[in-house]
């Protein structure tokens, strides 16, 4: 699962709109939209806030970041990880 999909899944599960999530993390709604669509990567600070607000574990975030990278580069490195 890509980072954008993970953020969106947890946002919806938490009953938050993009506007709500943006307010919780101190960002603008277009930033959340762009993150969910994969148009922009989050800063480390924003990634940390998203994890806290959405209750995403560091492991899940790391896997999603790697999956997103793999999808963009066409790499198959995810399959080699355990």
Structure tokens at 77: 């490195």
Q: Which CATH superfamily is domain 3-80 in?
A: lambda repressor-like DNA-binding domains (1.10.260.40)
Q: How far apart are CA 4 and CA 46, in angstroms?
A: 13
Q: How far apart are CA 77 and CA 22, in angstroms?
A: 32
Q: What backbone phi and psi angles, to 5 degrees, belong to 16?
A: -105, 145
pLDDT digits (tens, 9 = 90+) for 8-54: 999 999 999 999 999 999 999 999 999 999 898 888 899 999 999 99
Contact 28, 56 (CB under 8 A): no
Any residues with CB less than 8 A from the CB of 11 and at least 6 apart, and which? 17, 18, 21, 32, 36, 54
Query: Bigger pLDDT: 28 or 67?
Result: 28
């Amino acid at each position: 699962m890509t980072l954008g999909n993970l953020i969106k899944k947890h946002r919806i599960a938490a009953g938050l709109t993009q506007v709500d999530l943006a307010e919780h993390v101190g960002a603008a709604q277009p930033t959340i939209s762009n993150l969910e669509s994969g148009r922009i990567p989050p800063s480390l600070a924003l990634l940390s806030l998203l994890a806290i607000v959405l209750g995403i574990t560091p492991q899940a975030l790391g896997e999603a970041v790697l999956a997103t990278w793999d999808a963009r580069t066409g790499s198959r490195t995810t399959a080699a990880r355990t």
